[in-house]
């Protein structure tokens, strides 16, 4: 058994139900995605956080669209701007289908990411990108639901800390069901193909 297969088996044993494992292990009948298929996973099922205008948002708000959720923070030097820029390019490359892709950025640093800062940040990548900002407790609950790790790394001054955090995206289908786990650093063309396939499916 090679390392990759062992890793997939470990994921199946700890986090994913049989339906998702069937897809991960390449069993018959599973759609062929480039990203990790987590259809039926018992996590990343709910998202309820305020947006930059204070309106409570849930996945149901974007029913009929493909939703890509990414956790990060506005002062992130690499993972976050790179991911959001790639998603903006992917939306553009999909043409009309790109209009059906909703990017949602969840800050893990609500102390510094004020509504005004977060609103301006996501607007840099697309006018329809949505930023969500909860309280410390709401942020922690959302991260637990998505199995996202984040932690404050102290800086030289109290306000100069950085945030370690998971760098992956979660893709939901048009019915609000989680379908794909997209690791950071993957091929943007492959993700575009996955989104195109999900869009075509409804």
pLDDT tens across 140-184, in order? 999 999 999 999 999 999 889 999 999 999 999 999 999 999 999
* 11 vs 100 pLDDT, higher one: 100
* Residue 37: per-residue pLDDT: 96
Q: Distances in Å between the alpha carbon of 25 and those of 7, 21, 45, 90, 168? A: 11, 6, 22, 27, 20
What is the arithmetic mean of pLDDT over 124-137? Answer: 98
The yes-or-no verdict on residue 201 having pLDDT over 50 is yes
Burial annotation 167-179 (CB, 10 A radius, 16+ → b, else e): bbbbbbbbebebb
* Residue 8: per-residue pLDDT: 41
* Residue 28: per-residue pLDDT: 53
Q: What is the pLDDT of residues 26-74, one digit of tens each?
A: 445 566 899 999 999 999 999 999 999 999 999 999 999 999 999 999 9
Categorise residue 44: left if φ over 0, alpha if ψ from -120 to 50, beta otherwise: left
Q: Which residues pair with 143 in a beta bridge?
A: none
Long-range CB contacts (within 8 A, 24+) of 74-79:
74/107, 74/109, 74/112, 74/113, 74/117, 74/118, 74/121, 75/109, 75/112, 75/162, 75/163, 76/163, 76/165, 79/165, 79/167, 79/184
Mean residue pLDDT of the chain comes to 88
What is the arithmetic mean of pLDDT over 72-87? Answer: 97
Distance CA 82, CA 88 (A): 10
What is the arithmetic mean of pLDDT over 5-24? Answer: 43
What is the arithmetic mean of pLDDT over 8-12? Answer: 42
Q: Cβ-count burial of 127 within 10 angstroms (0-12 exposed, 13-18 middle, 19+ buried)?
A: exposed
* Residue 34: per-residue pLDDT: 94
* Residue 30: per-residue pLDDT: 60
What is the arithmetic mean of pLDDT over 94-123? Answer: 97
| pTM, to two decimals | 0.85
* Residue 35: per-residue pLDDT: 96
Categorise residue 40: left if φ over 0, alpha if ψ from -120 to 50, beta otherwise: left
């Amino acid at each position: 058994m090679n390392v990759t297969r062992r890793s997939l088996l470990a994921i199946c044993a700890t986090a994913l139900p049989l339906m998702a494992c069937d897809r991960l292990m390449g069993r018959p009948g599973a759609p062929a995605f480039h990203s990790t298929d987590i259809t039926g996973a018992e996590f990343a099922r709910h998202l309820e956080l305020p947006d930059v205008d204070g309106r409570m948002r849930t996945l149901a708000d974007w029913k009929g669209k493909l939703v890509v959720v990414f956790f990060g923070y506005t002062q992130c030097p690499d993972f976050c701007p790179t991911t959001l820029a790639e998603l903006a390019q992917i939306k553009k490359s999909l043409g009309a289908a790109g209009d059906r892709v909703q990017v949602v950025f969840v800050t893990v640093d609500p102390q510094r990411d004020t509504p005004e800062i977060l609103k301006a940040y996501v607007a840099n990548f697309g006018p329809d990108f949505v930023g969500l900002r909860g309280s410390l407790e709401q942020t922690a609950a959302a991260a637990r639901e998505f199995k996202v790790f984040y932690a404050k790394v102290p800086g030289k001054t109290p306000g100069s800390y950085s945030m370690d955090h998971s760098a992956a995206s979660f893709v939901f289908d048009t019915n609000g069901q989680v379908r794909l786990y997209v690791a950071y650093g993957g091929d943007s063309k492959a993700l575009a193909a996955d989104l195109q396939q999900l869009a075509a499916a409804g």
